[in-house]
Structure 1
């Protein structure tokens, strides 16, 4: 029996899990699975039940991440982790993150159906709170494992419940006291590999007509969720030379950042600028007032730590120039960062060989998004990712991954695991 048959046999399991996750998160017109809330908790329970049916051992770590472990033949062999997240943005889609957890479970089911048992443990991880919408900080579950939570993270408050991250973790069986020690929950040097399957968040695979691609790198990011500009409220008739207009300063800042983006791309240095929030304060703005206050958010992304550092330096210069020219103060406020995630060259080649065995093209792409894989790669764990074709982008109700495309990614994953863990 080839691996194609046991992989194909998992299609009903995959569809049942995807449908179950959609029912848990149903929030018309989209999907909401709140981190550390009902949606994420019930999704973890669904994954745990599927793992139990496969004979996997379930444990919860200090960050309240769920691990489903299939014991290998050699307990001393470094384990292979397959992970992703189950939370979503508010009224997003069903597949961002969750497809990767489903893929891990289906891959183990396929290997079991093929009569194979791995040399090392294989673990499926359902990582907590990948989406930054809940605490203003993303990748929280995967930050916990290698002790990459930034200072003060456990005191951040949940956007809905108002609980601190420490309180949220404790309520779900985690141990924030252990996290405050700042030592890894898992020693990166003792992990054999981390693999993640994730929907693509750009239409590159739709454009290429390919169901799956091997990821080359994920960008890191620097985020400022609450940039505040302070100028001076004034009458709308005030001549230009007297104005300290915070709204125009915000516009200047945004356009200067776009010019930076285009310059960097033209020079062959891929990056992204995103302004998510951009507004005068709703309680103060008026048709007949020059606004002395303005707020925006900023997400800068690039594929190397050096490039991110250079972009931050450029950001500081742009902020100083705009503030001086407009006569305003610009406070960048809170800062969070995620390290870039270059994929392991040996895993990239191994996944390419696995794709060939599965009869699939070995398309190779950068991911436009930061993922939990970033934290493993930044900690020295050999890391790989597969990107699954997905129409209409992500973080919206119109995510449109086809189950057949996820099955293609599972086939690549199974062939890689069979070779890697023989």
Structure 2
């Protein structure tokens, strides 16, 4: 592994065409998606559709073939000389969280387009066809389910997922149908893409944490992606009462019950970390009902979300069991009840060893660092990998985290990431 501070013979040259394409498309996407605070391109929305239209128009301008598949994803194709060979796929998603940043997801789609555009411009016909996917529905913010677009591709989006509603009461199935997806096939669990026809999936994404920034590295090669187990909404039901009239021993206080639960989960989390386990735990939605708020009222109900992430399926299941056990104990001790909605999960994924090696080799040949890094956030690459498709993921350094308007990816780092991705792909399609 090339470590921080090592000397590189830098032969990477910032590509002006890649930079120009990036500036043009990122600016166009921002203009189409800015909501006054940040970028909003929610899954299966008009703004997400507009983003696909922007990329598709540019792809056509560059002389590339475009289409929409049965999942309403954008597919850009550079045909190979041996079209019967399984094709190489690249890309990422084009939706965002509400008031997010402009690089999350979109960077991977633009990077893939840059790779295809260079091959087309240089009049190079690859032996193996290359397809760029602009995927829909990767973010879980609207429907509580991640990877909707890529799961649908492989027949893994459950029919009950299609019935989940957003905050306006629209179901996922209705929203998918509205943008042109073949919901009947998706509901039957019919694959929209034959996994056997995909030779590999290569994705570029901004890092959504601070590791590359702290190590002063422009990019990293991902080795694995954390999976997760979630509940979108858990309710703790206690008993409302007068704050001055009910003594502690007769209370069924939902706030103190959930506060105790969170304290116990944090203690378990710390213990697992001390034992060397990979795990993160979050409750990102938490609150009492505003309609019942009063200083002098004992809260009778608290709603909260639960999420645990790990690269280990065993750790995920073990922590989830701890979570349910703690809920049972606290319910008994405090006289409350925990009510759970449907459990959601995304499996952890390991990136393909050969592709990790190919990407590291490409980085070294360009005089760039080849640091390996795990991914704490989820990505479509996990779905492809768990479908049996060799998959790889390149991270590009990004300041200020992600899922917020302050995402700050340096264009020089981005162009370097494209160069590494391009070199690895060109080697694989010969």
TM-score bracket for the superposition, by shorter chain length = over 0.9
State the partner residue of 2:95. 87
SS at match of 1:15: helix
State the partner residue of 2:325. 317
Deviations 1:85-109 (A, max 9, x none): 1111111111111111011001112
SS at match of 1:132: coil
State the partner residue of 2:238. 231
State the partner residue of 1:213. 220
SS at match of 2:414: helix
CA distance in 2, matches of 1:313, 1:90: 32
Match of 2:208 among 193, 198, 201: 201
Match of 1:249 among 253, 257, 264: 257
Maintained 8 Å contact 2:103/2:206: yes
TM-score, structure 2 normalization: 0.94
CA distance in 1, matches of 2:92, 2:239: 46
Deviations 1:190-244 (A, max 9, x none): 2100111111011100011111100011111111011100011111122111111
Q: Are 1:170 and 2:177 counterparts? A: yes
1:9 shift after superposition? 2.5
State the partner residue of 2:298. 290
Aligned length: 419
State the partner residue of 2:405. 397
State the partner residue of 1:377. 385
Maintained 8 Å contact 1:278/1:296: yes
Match of 1:180 among 166, 184, 187: 187
5+ long unaligned stretches in structure 1: none
Q: RMSD in angstroms over aligned alpha carbons?
A: 1.5
1:4 shift after superposition? 5.6
Maintained 8 Å contact 2:351/2:385: yes
Maintained 8 Å contact 2:158/2:189: no
State the partner residue of 2:22. 14
Q: Are 1:337 and 2:329 counterparts? A: no
Q: Relative to 1, partners in 2 of residues 1:333 and 1:158: Cα closer, same or farther, differing over 3 Å?
A: closer
1:185 shift after superposition? 1.2
Maintained 8 Å contact 1:218/1:369: yes
Q: Are 1:105 and 2:113 counterparts? A: yes
**Dislocated runs of 4+, deviation >6 Å:** none
Q: Are 1:39 and 2:29 counterparts? A: no
Q: Are 1:59 and 2:52 counterparts? A: no
SS at match of 1:83: strand
